[in-house]
Amino acid sequence: MFNISKEDYLRVIYKNYTAGSLVTATVIADKLNVSNAAVTDMLKKLAKEKLIKYIPYKGVELLQKGMELAISLVRRHRIWETYLYKIIGLPLSMVDSEAENLEHSSSDELINRLEEILGYPEFDPHGDPIPSKKGILPKKKKSIPLSELEVDEQGAVLRVNDDSDEFLEHLTKLGIELNRKIKVVERRSFDNSLLIEVHADAPLRGKKEHSISEKYAKNIFVEVKSKK
């Protein structure tokens, strides 16, 4: 509701910041698909509004006000993703791009109502934390990439990378979603691909075996459960 472009810049800065190191212009330009010159322009505007700290040639980080706006946007984004997935029934691979638009066009009243309907969820369908009305993030549970599980270990899916639609679409085909239990049956050391067993939903009690590449396994994060 603020300004679509500025909100998008703030979200990218938020999502790409890691303590200690500034977010560079190139990273922002890449994620938003605009030129570096456009980024420099916008960073100057955001800095003038005291939303970010901008150190020329070095990068930026969010200031208090910018952080609040970014978290509000992330909240809108993740609540929409959760609603689209759980209530509307859109496929996981579609919710990000849809939420990308809706997040800029929803009143706080609407977002709060969606949150209420969902029962105040803590995580979105990718396993990312949903900020509360006050901007507080739930604690993330500790997770490791599926690629690091040993053979015969199993874990529940805690988070999946939300960067690629193709990746998410394939996960859906394999029956992989949040909380699903996965066991590593076999590791082929030639290419580090895995044979995994995806446990089905309770009612069906079945399991399915699938082969996945190392790259896939590196983008699925599981909570270690137990040896077997």
Partner DNA sequence: CAAAATATTTAAGCGCACTTAAATTTTATT
Partner DNA sequence: AATAAAATTTAAGTGCGCTTAAATATTTTG
Least separation in angstroms between residue 14's CB and DNA is 17
Amino acid occupying residue 123: F
The residues, ordered by sequence, that sit 6+ positions from 84 with a Cβ below 8 Å of its Cβ are 90, 94, 95, 98, 99
Using rule CB under 8 A, residue 79 touches its own copies: no
Q: Does residue 48 belong to the site contacting DNA (CB under 7 A)?
A: no
Q: Which of 21, 26, 101, 192 binds its own copies (CB under 8 A)?
A: 101
Give yes or no for residue 3 binding DNA (CB under 7 A).
yes
Separation between Cα atoms, residue 30 and residue 194, nearest integer Å: 32
5 binds DNA (CB under 7 A): yes
Q: Which residues contact 54 (CB under 8 A, 6 or more apart)?
A: 43, 44, 46, 47, 60
Nearest to 148 by CA among 223, 206, 207, 91: 223
Residue with smaller CB distance to its own copies, 16 or 112: 112
Q: Select the residue interacting with DNA from 21, 26, 105, 164 (CB under 7 A).
A: 26
- Using CB under 8 A as the binding rule, whether residue 88 contacts its own copies is answered as yes
Q: How many residues bind its own copies (CB under 8 A)?
A: 19
We find the least distance from the C-beta atom of residue 78 to Mn ion, in angstroms, to be 5
Q: What is the DSSP letter of 201?
A: P
Here the tokens at position 183 are 């066991």
Task: List residues binding Mn ion (CB under 5 A).
Answer: 81, 96, 124, 126, 128, 162
**Which of 103/177 has CB closer to its own copies?**
103
SS3 sequence, 142-184? CCEEHHHCCCCCEEEEEEECCCCHHHHHHHHHHCCCCCCEEEE
Q: Which stretch binds its own copies (CB under 8 A): 98-106, 168-176, 185-193, 219-227?
A: 98-106
C-alpha 141/C-alpha 158 separation (Å) is 8
Could you say which of 40, 132, 143, 161 contacts DNA (CB under 7 A)? 40
Instruction: List strand residue ranges (DSSP E) for the chain, in order.
Output: 52-55, 59-62, 144-145, 154-160, 181-188, 193-199, 207-212, 220-226
Q: Would you say 16 or 143 has its CB closer to DNA?
A: 16
Q: Quick one: 102 or 157, whose CB is closer to its own copies?
A: 102
Residue 155, contacted partner among Mn ion, DNA, its own copies, none, CB below 5-8 A by kind: none
Q: Candidates 20-28, 42-50, 100-108, 194-202 — which segment interacts with its own copies by CB under 8 A? A: 100-108
Letter string b/e over residues 78-113, b meaning 16 or more CB atoms within 10 A of that residue's CB:
bbbbbbbbbeeebebbbbbeebeebbbebeeeebee
Residues that bind its own copies (CB under 8 A): 1, 84, 88-90, 94, 97-98, 101-102, 104-107, 109-110, 113-114, 117
